[in-house]
Amino acid sequence: MKKFFKILGIIIGSIVALLILIGIVVFGGSYLLNAKKEVENPVYPPDKTWTFTAEFYDTANKLTRTDTLKLKTINQRFMLTQNKIKWILNSDNKTIEETTGMIENEKRLWIHPPRFDDYFEFTEYSAFPEIRRPI
């Protein structure tokens, strides 16, 4: 019986240690990875919205559709090392939103493009736009 409780104690201790490690990585990982550094004069500061117009033409160069695409920066972390962004597509009387991430620090500016249907193939030409610093 003593052996059982000893093994049980080891298992519970291991689980607690694992949960603590997961908590450190999930909640403090961005600080441990030095990813929370603020950038002086960021290109995409938090809590701002940029609005873009996308026009689609057919082979006869006739305008077939005009979309409004917004990029909204959010003052939160995304997947430990990224800043949270939201792509918002207004097209054909419907609105679609997608949350993803970007990285803007002293070494690089990297943005995850939108994954909306008509944009996915186009954005694969430059799948993840990135600028390495210093320029």
**Token pair for residue 62?**
């006739």
pLDDT tens digits, residue range 104-135? Answer: 988 899 998 888 877 766 666 677 788 888 87
Q: For residue range 54-99, list pLDDT tens digits in order.
A: 898 999 999 999 999 999 999 998 888 899 999 999 988 899 999 9
Write down the residue that tokens 């059982």 correspond to: 4
Quick check: 75 and 46 in contact, CB under 8 A? yes
Q: In angstroms, rounded to a whole number, what is the distance separating the alpha carbons of residues 75 and 57?
A: 36
What span, in angstroms and rounded, lies between the C-alpha atoms of 130 and 114? 15
Three-state secondary structure string covering 91-122: ECCEEEEEEEEEEECCCEEEECCCCCHHHHHH
What are the helix (H) ranges across the chain?
Answer: 2-32, 117-123
Tokens, residue 135: 């320029």
pTM above 0.75, yes or no: no
Report d(CA 30, CA 38) in Å as an integer: 12
